[in-house]
Amino acid sequence: MDSHLDSSSNSHLSNPFRSDAYLGTINQVGKAQVQMTFRPPAGGLNGTPSTIPSADVGSYVVITSGDYAVFGQLNDVRVPSTEIGATESYPVGTIQMMSTIELTTARVSAGVIAHPKIGGEVYEASARVVQGVAESKLKKVGEEVKVTLDFVRLPNAEETPISFTPEMMFGRHAAFLGTTGAGKSWSVARLVEQVGRHKSKVILLDATGEYGALARGTYHVHIGADPNPHPRSTEVSLPYNELTEGDLFAIFKPKGQSQAPKLRAAMKSLKLARLAPRLALDGCIIKVDKAKQQFEADYARFLNELEKSEAEFDIEKLTRQIENECVKPQRSPFEPEYWGGVNGADQAMCVPLITRINDIIKSENLAPIFDPQDKPSLITAIDRFLVDDNSSVLRVNLQYLSFQHNAREIIANAAGRHLLKLSRQSRFRKNPLLVVVDEAHQFLNSSSAGNSNDEYPLDAFSDIAKEGRKYALSILLATQRPRDIPDGVLSQMGTLVVHRLINHLDRAVVERASGEIDKSSLEALPTLAPGECVLIGVDFPIPLLVRVNAPKAKPNSEGPNYQEYWS
């Protein structure tokens, strides 16, 4: 889509060719790339002899093409092999063509509208031209821009700022990718600060506790036994009865053909025991040799309640009820209206499940779920934050939440599922919500987030990626291991902010997730300096190399101080 710029930017894009930035001429034209020869302009520059021009690899250039200028990036420079007897040999370079500038209107279009001709002139693009191209989708014709994000700048001597709108960054979700030490956390902190300056709502799932320095408009909560909690942080829990039966299945992991049906039946029986206490003895429904008539009548009466996914039952009685489910289906062929005696085979197969459940619900690591005491619920904290006009950022510190039994994935998934439920009720139409998931591979790994082979998928964020946009619910995933994020989730990210990536599998994921990145930009990812990144997205006309501005509240990403503690 084309767009208009302001008058200042228009002047640079209407005449992007500066005589003092002349580099040479085109000698070969391909579909996506052209080759140029570096040579002095005819007669020298301003009528005086000139040396051979030069430009750094990675520099942006503009190429004459009739009524258009083709914008591209210099990918390599080399000296060609010379023929015997040749008197001179000029360097040559390869240019990746990226977008087209219409000179009469200063409009920028992605791709190449008019290919250059042999002999077309090549000029190094000024910082203002690069800025104009990068910001060409900042607004549509006649649309007023009130909110922009001061996030990145060009890595040049002038440190030229690049502005964009929240729609460009989050409208189709976003992902921040980069290996450890590449500046990913720095980028997250800067962006959360920038978003928090506006009338906005951001929920940050802080996996490692890095973002405790966030201050302005930030409400801090933590879940887990934090030995040194933030002074303004509130400890929260996520009681098991705010989870779903599927969440509990993901925690308890029933195995084999018998365990899962018995666990599901036990949950339904305990729900019924709460709704029809006359059926229960000490909270459990005993089935051995008991009549089925009243049970079946009450089951039919409360069917809608029983079919709800919420875990509304007494978890302490779950293992006893599993034992009570291990009965024969009827007492005899002539008494189908009675359950039979104990089914020893089923009971033996359920012993490992019963032991596992008892261990899990008594585990101190899972106390925020199974022993929340009087700590407020994370879901309640989210609901209060969403209506609090004085808070723009809710930081949920998960640093000390256990990795055992998928606790992190399950709690993050429960929060995501709650937000998706609210979004479907149009809660965010007039107040768009951004959810930032730091270290997303800890919560959305392919073994738990919607794997087709997983009977109990934790797929809330996968669903948000697919349908959250239409409900004004956006996500930003930050990870150092993009290869562990399901392809179906990453492919929904309309904007990628890619810091240094060394692993070839991670770079291959970026290539699959983005149709806009070219081979040269992909090959440059391992060489990016800390804080540098390539900005790629459907609302950005070119893959743009930028440097992230420093956040005020810097994340605590430092490793151990060996000099101090090993001396």
CATH number at residue 530: 3.40.50.300
**Is 419 in the same domain as 452?**
yes
Residue 564 counted as domain residue: no
Q: What pLDDT does 4 receive?
A: 37
Q: Which residue has the tokens 């990675």?
A: 58
502 lies in the same domain as 378: yes
CA 423, 427, 432, 433 dihedral sign is negative
552 and 428, same structural domain?
yes
Determine, yes or no, domain membership for 550: yes
For residues 385 and 519, membership in a common domain is answered with yes
Residue where one domain finishes, among candidates 365, 386, 410: 365
Report pLDDT for 87. 53
Q: What share of the chain is helix, strand, coil (3-state, %, to 5)?
A: 35, 20, 45
pLDDT band at 43 (very low <50, low <70, confident <90, very high): low
Do 130 and 30 have their domain in common?
yes
- Give the pLDDT confidence score for residue 450 in this predicted structure: 42
- Of 269, 282, 287, 373, the C-alpha closest to 330 is 287
* pLDDT level of residue 515 (50, 70, 90 thresholds): low
> Residue 424 CB: number of other CB atoms within 10 A?
14
**Number of structural domains the chain divides into:** 3
Q: How confident is the model at residue 347 (pLDDT cuts 50, 70, 90)?
A: very high
**Residue 376: inside a domain, yes or no?**
yes
Residues 329 and 440 in one domain: no
Instruction: Give the end of a domain, one of 333, 365, 397.
Output: 365
**Half-sphere exposure of residue 229: CA atoms within 13 angstroms, side-chain side:** 18
Q: Tell me whether residue 525 is in a domain.
A: yes
Rounded-to-integer distance, Cα 226 and Cα 375, Å: 14
Single residue among 365, 382, 415 that ends a domain in this structure:
365
CATH number (domain holding residue 33): 2.40.30
Q: What is the pLDDT of residues 281-333, one digit of tens each?
A: 889 999 999 999 999 999 999 999 999 988 899 999 999 999 999 999 999 99
What is the rounded CA–CA span in Å between residue 72 and residue 92? 15
What is the model's pLDDT at position 560? Answer: 78
Say whether both 255 and 290 belong to one domain. Answer: yes
Is 515 a domain residue? yes
3-state secondary structure of 560: coil
- 399 and 339 within one domain: no
Residue 82 pLDDT level (bands cut at 50, 70, 90): low
Query: Same domain for 290 and 321?
Result: yes
Q: What is the CA radius of gyration of the chain?
A: 30
Residues 376 and 524 in one domain: yes
Is residue 150 domain-resident? no
pLDDT digits (tens, 9 = 90+) for 406-445: 889 999 999 999 999 999 999 999 999 999 999 999 888 6
What is the full DSSP assignment across 63-102? EEETTEEEEEEEEEEEPPPPPTT-S----EEEEEEEEEEE
Burial of 330 from C-beta contacts in 10 A (0-12 / 13-18 / 19+): middle
CA distance 421 to 476: 18
CA angle, residues 147, 150, 153, in degrees to nearest 5? 140
515 and 409 assigned to the same domain:
yes
Residue 88, pLDDT above cutoff 80: no
pLDDT tens digits, one per residue of 229-266 = 888 899 999 999 999 998 999 899 998 788 999 999 99
Q: Torsion over CA of 468, 473, 477 and 482, rounded to 10 degrees?
A: 10
Domain that includes residue 536, residue range: 166-238+372-558
- The values of phi and psi at residue 240, to 5°, are -60, -30
Residue 52 lies in a domain: yes
Query: 334 and 379 in one domain?
Result: no
- Give whole-number Cα distances, 437 to 173, 363, 364, 548, 553, in Å: 12, 26, 25, 19, 18
Percent of the chain with pLDDT over 90: 63
Burial of 201 (0-12, 13-18, 19+ CB in 10 A): buried
Looking at the DSSP assignment, which residues form a beta bridge with residue 107? 102
Has residue 69 been placed in a domain?
yes
| CA separation for the pair 367, 225 (Å, rounded) | 9
